[in-house]
């Protein structure tokens, strides 16, 4: 079968985190898929830090896993350390994070993709798109091939007209040592798309043998590490590698300032916006001049390499300044560089030009995913890739699009934020962006999403069976605790040991278990409860679900009720042909924003900045409410 006479169902342009998840999803749904990337050796490369997850990002990786994506499995198989962040806060804030072995991560991804049916690979640079009227028809490559496709997903990362900056030096590239991609932006702009520029940066990589760890604070992984994937094919880590923490100081800051006149960030050469929540070190000392020190995390790049990622020291300052300043950080006095930090500028397309299924509004069957949509981070990219892959396959199969609501997943929040509000700076997910974060916890992503994925044909029967078992065992244990009476003789010793008020008559266990100072493990000494747990093979995952239910059921029910109210507005559709210019009682700003974004429902319209509650009332009247 030749590339010259094949029409693919889906072509995925780019083999980063978004492209890899997109290719896996569409192929697993039965679509004949081609993944085109500039270098097959660099599939799913961790271009920046060697880690997956973190605040809100860990929830996204769990959601990708529940939906049948590969990111969670690959992370588990290649992790060198695991941590559950925010454990001191409520469960809505708990966020898993893993350090990965960078080389193993990319290798594992490639192996999993090669074992995926319906997926072909081709190494070449895509430098143009083929159109049939206002519908995508395929891609053009640097070698001059024209490859036909029913749908195309562009996941170009930082490669579209990528420009690398180190001090006063500038050269084209999409990543250190790799060329930029040209042609796609120009084709799309000619078709009426609006494009912009964004910036991101990366820190130096150094030789771990040249560091003095005795001057740093060790940061080990969790004593009882968990994992990302809900499948039993991955196991928690038995051994882990530590990271280390050190700090900058006023001397480091003064040395860095010496290079500000040669910094592309301050001398006007970089005009685009960088990520607010992951600023360069020069940006930090400029914006937070009153702070005397900033954290620097020393992260190993893998099990068997001496290469170290200097997290917190992202910079595009000249090499001599990087070299001089970093030596004043405790532990870095004799540092040897593997490579210097740099900034990269690249093209993106404001995501208000997309529909909820990540298809472009201007060109049918053309999808965007990842940094091309203005996001930052592997996890955000992978989530979009998965959703674009699913929706491209559904488009080919002439089925309804798959869209997640804000109350169903962080992925739903991410995509809705992008297409409804747009973004002027690299978008990063936080728990605070999700109004229903008590519902969208990392522990229940499988309960929320597996059934949806199973219906799509992505989640396996094994996944579905495990979710059903988890659901049933959780409910049965809740029922058991709700009906189990315990005597004061059984429970008072537990309460006394915690200096809590005792009881003077028998009581249902769930009433006492709901007290915030107590954990489930405190009650394991109660014989009836322990017997039930043993006889029914109740594992820690079930116990965690039950404990969260006992402590937070009031909050969870309130959020569900709020979500249901909003979902009723979600069901009030706005016709795509609706002419806002005729509705004179709308504010001028609302008319302008609504006409541009073309929301599909009253609920989406209500989230557009500049559209007021009174504008929504007007729309409800027009929609026949």
Residue 279 annotated as lining a ligand binding site: yes
- Alpha carbon 86 to its chain's center: 17
Residue 243 annotated as lining a ligand binding site: no
Q: From 573, 598, 566, 273, select the one nearest 423 (Cα to Cα).
A: 273
Contact predicate 328/385, CB 8 Å? no
572's CB contacts (< 8 A; 6+ apart) are: 601, 602, 603, 620, 623, 625
Residue 276 annotated as lining a ligand binding site: yes
Contact predicate 381/17, CB 8 Å? yes
Residue 395 annotated as lining a ligand binding site: no
Distance CA 405, CA 423 (A): 19
Residue 253 annotated as lining a ligand binding site: no
Contact predicate 151/395, CB 8 Å? yes
Torsion over CA of 315, 383, 152 and 183, rounded to 10 degrees? -10
Distance CA 206, CA 166 (A): 16
Residue 364 annotated as lining a ligand binding site: no
* First vs last C-alpha separation in the chain: 56
Residue 59 annotated as lining a ligand binding site: no
Residue 443 annotated as lining a ligand binding site: no
Q: From 31, 35, 32, 42, select the one nearest 14 (Cα to Cα).
A: 35
241's CB contacts (< 8 A; 6+ apart) are: 80, 81, 99, 221, 300, 303
Residue 284 annotated as lining a ligand binding site: yes
Q: Which residue has the tokens 């266990």?
A: 509
Phi first, then psi: what are they for 145, rounded to 5°? -75, 145
Torsion over CA of 411, 447, 541 and 238, rounded to 10 degrees? -50
Residue 283 annotated as lining a ligand binding site: yes
Strand 33-37 relative to strand 135-141: parallel, antiparallel, unpaired?
A: unpaired
Q: From 343, 345, 341, 370, select the one nearest 358 (Cα to Cα).
A: 370
Residue 19 annotated as lining a ligand binding site: yes
Contact predicate 208/80, CB 8 Å? no
Side by side, which strands form the sheet with 51-53?
Answer: 51-53, 95-100, 79-85
* Burial profile 6-42: b = 16 or more Cβ within 10 angstroms, e = fewer: eebbbbbbbbbbbbbbbbbbbbbbebbbbbbbbbeeb
Residue 573 annotated as lining a ligand binding site: no
Distance CA 303, CA 527 (A): 44
Q: From 76, 100, 45, select the one nearest 302 (Cα to Cα).
A: 100
Residue 275 annotated as lining a ligand binding site: yes
Point out which residues pair with 138 in neighbouring strands.
130, 148
Residue 503 annotated as lining a ligand binding site: no
Residue 371 annotated as lining a ligand binding site: yes
Q: Which residue has the tokens 């039950």?
A: 546
Residue 288 annotated as lining a ligand binding site: yes
Residue 285 annotated as lining a ligand binding site: yes
Residue 286 annotated as lining a ligand binding site: yes
Residue 282 annotated as lining a ligand binding site: yes
Distance CA 316, CA 263 (A): 7
Residue 278 annotated as lining a ligand binding site: yes
Name the binding residues: 14-19, 126, 181, 274-288, 371
Name the binding residues for NAD(+): 274-288
Name the binding residues for FAD: 14-19, 126, 181, 371
């Amino acid at each position: 079968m030749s590339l010259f006479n094949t029409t693919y169902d889906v072509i995925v342009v780019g083999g980063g985190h978004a492209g890899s998840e997109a290719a896996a999803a569409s192929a697993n749904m039965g679509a004949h898929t081609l993944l085109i990337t500039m270098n097959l050796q660099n599939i799913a490369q961790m271009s920046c830090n060697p880690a997956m997850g973190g605040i809100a990002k860990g929830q996204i990786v769990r959601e990708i896993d529940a939906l049948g994506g590969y990111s969670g499995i690959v992370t588990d198989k290649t992790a060198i350390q695991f941590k559950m962040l925010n454990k001191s806060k409520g469960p809505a804030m708990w966020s898993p994070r893993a350090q990965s072995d960078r080389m193993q991560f990319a290798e594992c991804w490639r192996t999993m993709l090669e074992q995926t049916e319906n997926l072909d690979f081709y190494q070449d640079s895509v430098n143009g798109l083929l159109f049939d009227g206002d519908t995508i028809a395929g891609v053009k490559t640097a070698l001059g091939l024209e490859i036909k496709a029913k749908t195309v997903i562009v996941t170009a990362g930082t490669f579209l007209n990528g420009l690398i900056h180190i001090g006063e030096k500038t050269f084209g590239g999409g990543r250190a040592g790799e060329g930029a991609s040209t042609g796609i932006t120009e084709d799309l702009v000619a078709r009426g798309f609006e494009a912009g520029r964004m910036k991101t940066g990366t820190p130096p990589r150094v030789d771990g043998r040249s560091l003095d760890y005795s001057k740093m604070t060790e940061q080990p992984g969790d004593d009882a590490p968990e994992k990302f994937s809900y499948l039993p094919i991955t196991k928690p880590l038995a051994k882990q590698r530590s990271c280390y923490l050190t700090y900058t100081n006023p001397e480091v800051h003064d040395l860095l300032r010496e290079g500000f006149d040669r910094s592309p960030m301050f001398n006007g050469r970089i005009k685009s916006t960088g990520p607010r929540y992951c600023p360069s070190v020069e940006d930090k000392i400029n914006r937070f001049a009153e702070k005397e020190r900033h954290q620097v995390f020393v992260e190993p790049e893998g099990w068997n390499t001496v290469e170290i990622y200097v997290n917190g020291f992202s910079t595009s300052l000249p090499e001599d300044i990087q070299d001089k300043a970093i030596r004043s950080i405790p532990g870095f006095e004799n540092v040897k560089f593997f490579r210097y930090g740099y900034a990269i500028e690249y093209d993106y397309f404001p995501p208000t030009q997309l529909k909820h299924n990540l298809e472009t509004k201007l060109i049918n069957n053309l999808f965007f995913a990842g940094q091309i949509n203005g996001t930052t981070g592997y996890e955000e990219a992978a989530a979009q890739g998965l959703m674009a892959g699913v929706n491209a396959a559904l488009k080919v199969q002439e089925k309804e699009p798959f869209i997640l609501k804000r109350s169903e997943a962080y992925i739903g929040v991410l995509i809705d934020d992008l297409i409804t509000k747009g973004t002027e700076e690299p978008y990063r997910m936080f728990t605070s962006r999700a109004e229903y974060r008590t519902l969208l916890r990392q522990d229940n992503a499988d309960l929320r999403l597996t059934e949806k994925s199973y219906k799509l044909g992505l989640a396996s029967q094994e996944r579905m069976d495990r979710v059903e078992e988890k659901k049933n065992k959780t409910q049965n244990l809740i029922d058991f605790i709700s009906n189990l009476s315990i005597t004061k003789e059984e429970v008072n010793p537990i309460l006394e040991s915690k200096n809590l008020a005792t009881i003077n008559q028998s009581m249902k266990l769930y009433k006492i278990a709901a007290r915030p100072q107590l954990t489930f493990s405190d009650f394991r000494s109660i014989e009836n409860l322990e017997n039930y747990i043993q006889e029914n093979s109740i594992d820690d995952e079930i116990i965690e679900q039950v404990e969260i239910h006992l402590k937070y059921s009031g909050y969870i029910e309130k959020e569900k009720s709020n979500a249901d109210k909003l979902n009723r507005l979600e069901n009030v559709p706005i016709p795509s042909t609706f002419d806002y210019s005729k509705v004179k009682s709308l504010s001028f700003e609302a008319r302008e924003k609504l006409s541009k974004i073309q929301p599909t429902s009253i609920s989406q319209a209500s989230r557009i900045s500049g559209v007021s509650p009174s504008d929504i009332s007007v729309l409800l009247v027009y929609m026949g409410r």
